[in-house]
Structure 1
Amino acid sequence: MTGTAQRGEQLLGVAVISTTPVAGGDVCTSTRMRLSDGRSAVIKTRPKAPEGFFQAEARGLAWLREAGGTSVPQILAVAEDCLIVEWIEPARPTVEAAEAFGRALAATHAAGAESFGGPSDGFIGLAPLPNRPLPTWPEFYASRRVMPYVRVAVQRGVLSPADAHDVERAVKRLPSLAGDAEPPARIHGDLWSGNVVWGQEDTAWLIDPAAHGGHRETDLAMLALFGIPHLQRVLDAYHEAAPLADGWEERVALHQLHPLLVHAVLFGGGYGLRAAKAARSLL
């Protein structure tokens, strides 16, 4: 029996019959465990994970699940070295599932948050995610989501000083770019297509969140950034359930600044240039 299976048995108190690697996931290793009680579960592990890494993910999953909107896997166990959640049997992403996902995501966002930010810091991928609350979304987005990653990107040589200056210029315009003020939404925070699992019965499930109180347009902008099946159906269904403020299409680049900068910090490549291009489109 593998060490992963043994760890699963320790935490769940149920025998593991077999294990199967789960494809995908650059940050963690995911393994499906078939349990002796007939259930299946996924255990996520990572050697030398940052302190509190899996606990932060578990808090985010539980918070999103409490909203009663988009489906979120049940947490079965969490420890310093791993997280175990229920297995979601995958299925083909249908138009019906996309529409249901759009409506459910609107309900999750509408559940709201106490503030822009959260009660504790977290992670996005392996990057630290500062969540200390600030009174308004422009303040929060500038101070907690954009500028920390600009500084690190410049230090790592994946964002030039000139490009960083353009991002800073866009940030200074945030109060006028942000549109009408909205209350904090309960957002996933890292909503690219890999963190949406299309399951049975036309149901989409959220995994791997960087959940916090933020702007609802942020989740939608990230879906658009990396693409998702039937994206337009998702957006249309969302807009029908919870109409977006005028001009939201023009703000997509603004909300994409953060994920582009995070990717620049984590993966380098051309993400720094893409972040600068997005910033310049806002000037």
Structure 2
Amino acid sequence: MKPVIQRALEQLNDPGPIKVMQSVSGGDINEAFYVRTSHHEYFIKANTNVPSHFFTVEALGLERIDQTNTINVPKVYHYNEPDEGETGVLIMEWIEEDRQAHSAEKFGQNLAKMHLHPAEQFGLDQPTFIGRLTQDNSWSESWLDYYRENRLQPQLQLAIESSTLPHKRRDKLERLISRLDRWIPHHPSPSLLHGDLWAGNYMIGQKGIPYLIDPSIVYGDHAFELAFTELFGGFPSTFYAAYQEMMPLPFEYEDMKPLYQLYYLLVHLNMFGESYGPPVDRILTRYTGG
């Protein structure tokens, strides 16, 4: 991998040499490295087994968030679109983490400011990825239609194709999707969402400055974003208090939350297998009965 990264740095006009190259946590999909040259420090992702535009989508998502001037993201220095079998590389600013007591509150405030950046419709002008899975973001005037047709239906179809839906689970999921209008609104205000916001996709830099990383951006219901933050352990209570001071969640949020979390659980079911089946089943039973 070092020669690949060296060539990418040369395209960035940093001839090196690479003085330090260490593997770091980069999620379940990519290899990730801390790299220090004579000139700079970098966070670098690399992957050979993803579509050529995989890192392009991430870079453009970071750019779109940065353009809101509401919350920090790492600077993107370089990315490529490799031919099949070649390695994709994304080179970004290295952020030194420094979590402080006020950081969660600041994060909640800044995320709310980002969510206040609206659009006229729901979706995005390009597909994105959730893990390795492609997300169609075709624009829609109805959030209910978008969530049903661009989020839940594709995961249902993928689960059918990969045989992760026993008959009873499939029947309940299909019934739930047909009844979504009982709980999911047609016309909330479209907010710019990170799209994959769990605890591993934000960090606190020096002086307690929050950063978003690994986005899968979309314009959607801000409650959809907050629901996912609560799925795998949640964020600090000060984050939610600060967020709601600026952008309150709807009165119906607690009824909607499991339905929004269902999407991410289906993604995990399709990517990682049956260990995510029981939480899916609990949500389906709650809304469709035994």
Specify the TM-score bucket, using the shorter chain as the normaliser: over 0.9
State the alpha-carbon separation in 2 of the partners of residues 119 and 62 from structure 1: 14
The yes-or-no answer on 1:272 pairing with 2:277 is yes
State the alpha-carbon separation in 1 of the partners of residues 165 and 108 from structure 2: 34
Shift of 1:23: 2.1
Question: In structure 2, what is the equivalent of residue 246 of structure 1?
Answer: 251
User: Partner letter of residue 19 of structure 1?
Assistant: M
User: Which stretches in structure 1 are left out of the alignment for 5+ residues?
Assistant: none
Question: Which segment drifts farther, 136-145 or 47-56?
Answer: 47-56
User: Which stretches in structure 2 are left out of the alignment for 5+ residues?
Assistant: 82-87
TM-score by length of 2: 0.91
User: Partner letter of residue 11 of structure 2?
Assistant: L
State the alpha-carbon separation in 2 of the partners of residues 180 and 121 from structure 1: 22
1:211/1:281 CA distance change after superposition, 3 Å: same
Question: In structure 1, what is the equivalent of residue 160 of structure 2?
Answer: 154
The yes-or-no answer on 1:110 pairing with 2:112 is no
1:278/1:7 CA distance change after superposition, 3 Å: farther
Question: In structure 2, what is the equivalent of residue 136 of structure 1?
Answer: 142
Runs of 4+ in 1 over 6 A off after TM superposition: none
TM-score by length of 1: 0.93
Cα pair 1:154 1:161 within 8 Å, conserved: no
| Pairing of 1:19-168 with structure 2 (within 5 A) | 19-37=21-39, 39-80=40-81, 81-92=88-99, 94-168=100-174
State the alpha-carbon separation in 2 of the partners of residues 58 and 20 from structure 1: 22
User: Partner letter of residue 5 of structure 2?
Assistant: A
Cα pair 1:114 1:213 within 8 Å, conserved: no
1:160/1:95 CA distance change after superposition, 3 Å: farther
Match of 1:282 among 264, 273, 287: 287
The yes-or-no answer on 1:17 pairing with 2:19 is yes
1:195/1:51 CA distance change after superposition, 3 Å: same
What value does the CA root-mean-square deviation take over the aligned residues?
1.7
Question: In structure 1, what is the equivalent of residue 85 of structure 2?
Answer: none
User: Partner letter of residue 158 of structure 2?
Assistant: V
State the alpha-carbon separation in 2 of the partners of residues 215 and 10 from structure 1: 42
Shift of 1:168: 2.1
Q: How many residues align?
A: 280
Shift of 1:113: 2.9
Per-residue CA deviations over 1:168-208 (Å, capped at 9, x if unaligned) read 22222222202473121100111111111222211221111
Shift of 1:154: 2.4
